[in-house]
Chain A
Amino acid sequence: MNRRTFTWLAVFLLLPALTILLVFKALPILYAFRLAFYDWGISGEKGFVGLENFRALFQDPFFWQSLLNTFWYTIFAVPMSIAISLVIASLLNRGIRAIGLYRTIYFLPVVTSIVAVSVVWKWLYDPQRGLLNYILSILHLHPLLWLEEPRGIFELLTGRQLPLFLKGPSLALFSIALMSVWKSLGYNIVIFLAGLKNIPDVYYEAARIDGAGPFQTFRNVTVPLLSPTTFFVTIMTTIISLQVFAPIWTMTGPPPGGPLGTTTVVIYYLYQKGFEEYQVGYGSAIAFVFFIIILLITIFQKTVLEKRVYYEV
């Protein structure tokens, strides 16, 4: 007997996992696809409506706003998280003492629950008694409304009213992005550290002999040789950011998604429509469009970024 013989045992081994995945994953996915073409509201299924849900969706201003909010959130959260974690990881990688202690501290937010962390940050952001406004007052700066501020950050910076697409995320949404950066930093640092360990010392040696300073070395050795890791981190962080939900529920409002709908992200809108209002058909259409968008963004990142990834030969 060798490992290549077919036995019925294999079927029995696969049965538990396959059953669960089929019933609770594959079927709901197919079902979501089907429901997007049905009118299914609070009173149950009312039949096939073709593309009606999608037509309504594309005319739904709240959906467009939720998409815009999600994009703003992602566009700020992802680069911030990557830039900061890359810098910290490369500092940690320079053979300093106490690397273990630093790593532990930076990693701690990753294992803590997003709900608890959101509750704590909401307290930090409190406009009247929060720690952040206290720090601003020490620095003789104006206090901010943080999570209650619907105005866009570019509006706040320039001090004038701007058209919709130039406003930037509301300060409320930006505050949530800031918290997410803090929370996800440790994970990205650890991934970057693993990537940095794989860069052979000879490259650094060569850079040193050529007389490169620390910044030149970072730019011309570390960044290109680390690009496969950066690529992975970018795609992962983007996919996770696009799905932000819990901090919206716990930090904003009441009702969540405010102020003025500026923190209503796609998944929160999906939750509102598909679950709270029980518009299952409409919710499925949102889910369907959202999935296509994630897919397109990932493919876009793969084609555009992968060209710039330097694979060592």
Chain B
Amino acid sequence: MRFKWDRLVIHLVLLLGAILMMLPFLWMLSTSFKTQAEALLFPPTWIPKEFTLANYHVVWTKVHFPHYIYVSLVVTLFTLVGVLLTSILAAYAFSWFQFPGRESLFVGILSLMMVPIPVYVVPLFVLVQKLGWVDTYYALIVPWTANIFSIFLLRQHFRSIPANLYDAAVIDGCGRLRFLFQILLPLTKPALVTIAVFNVIGSWNAFMWPLMVTNSDRMRVIQVGLAYFAQGESTNYPALMAASTIAILPLVILFFFAQKQIVESYARSGLKE
């Protein structure tokens, strides 16, 4: 059999690309285990000569990273529960109920999706301030507990379920809410996973809004904590790399466990249905 040169070239290109993609992460890990003196060596070392966990220790004990992670976890969890609840109910109403103005209401909501957050972030901040929510969990969670894309996605999936399923369920004495929870939801699990993936990643990585509405250390989410730490310790690279590693670790672990679902969720987001 002929040796396939083109295959080899493709693999070489992809491999080179993959190395370039991983390089920043490898460099981050490598630096995070170095002493500050070794990090500044020129030429740099890839494998730390003197392997140290001191940077992680500093970030974990002296800076309040465990607390930042806790705040981020609370925000992520409650936002997710809120989004799932509001979108499941709203998508059900938009797909399996008839009421006057249903379609125009839906189009109106979809058009809101066109407006990027930065456009209304200042008035939103003024509103949250008037509610007295600055520096509270309410400010971090409540405004994001309804998500238009999630409603849209779920409605599309609910609509694809054949109507006679409902008729059959009614004959068996199934009420409207039981139909939603016992029949529709199990059938639309992939869409629910997609919604969960997007919202968890979005909440965990959110930066601009938490930066605006919190100011005490006590209410700092991980991304804001990291950004302030980076500003204050702008030259202590080993500690910064340890902090960055900690900040991305939870999602990286989640990614490796649910890789297929996560990648497919993103792939689906690009399909016009």
Contacts and interface: CB of A to CB of B under 8 A. Distances in A.
Q: Do A and B come from one complex?
A: yes
B272 A232 contact: yes
Interface stretch (A156-164, A167-175, A202-210, A280-288): A280-288
Contacts, number: 273
A187 interface: yes
Contact of B89 (A13, A92, A129): A13
B70 interface: no
Nearest to A9: B176
Contacts of A10: 93, 97-99
Contacts of B273: none
Nearest to A7: B97
Contact of A123 (B31, B143, B266, B272): B31
B136 interface: no
B122 A32 contact: yes
Given A115-B247, A190-B266, A21 B148 contact: yes
A61 to B, nearest CB: 21
A108 interface: yes
Contact of A17 (B146, B177, B204): B146
A57 interface: no
A246 B207 contact: yes
Contact of A239 (B18, B116, B122): B116
Contacts of A24: 124, 127, 142-144, 146
A32 B21 contact: no
A27 B126 CA distance: 12
A94 B10 contact: yes
Contacts of B240: 119, 123
A250 interface: yes
Interface residues of A, number: 93
Given A106-B18, A182-B21, A280-B126, A25 B241 contact: no
Interface in B37-81: 39-40, 42-44
A45 to B, nearest CB: 10
Contacts of A186: 21
Interface string A259-301: 0000000010011001100001001100110110011000000
B28 interface: yes
Nearest to A101: B18
B263 A190 contact: yes
A185 interface: yes
A303 interface: no
Main secondary structure of the interface of B (DSSP, over half): helix
Contacts of B40: 129
B170 A1 contact: yes
Contacts of A16: 85-86, 89-90, 146
A37 B125 CA distance: 18
Contact of B90 (A14, A104, A193, A284): A14
Given A182-B24, A239-B116, A267-B118, A116 B226 contact: yes
Interface in A1-22: 1-7, 9-11, 13-14, 16-18, 20-21
A129 B243 CA distance: 19
Contact of B223 (A25, A115, A270, A291): A115
Contacts of B268: 194
Contacts of A94: 10
Contact of B120 (A28, A110, A182, A294): A28
Interface in B222-273: 222-223, 226-227, 230-231, 234, 237, 240-241, 243-245, 247-248, 251-252, 254-256, 259, 262-263, 266-272
Contacts of B146: 16-17, 20-21, 24-25
B167 interface: yes
B104 to A, nearest CB: 13
B25 A13 contact: no
25 contacts: A6-B97, A6-B100, A7-B97, A10-B97, A20-B142, A25-B112, A25-B120, A28-B127, A91-B13, A111-B252, A113-B204, A114-B205, A116-B243, A119-B226, A119-B240, A119-B243, A187-B266, A190-B270, A232-B270, A245-B118, A249-B207, A254-B234, A287-B118, A291-B116, A294-B116
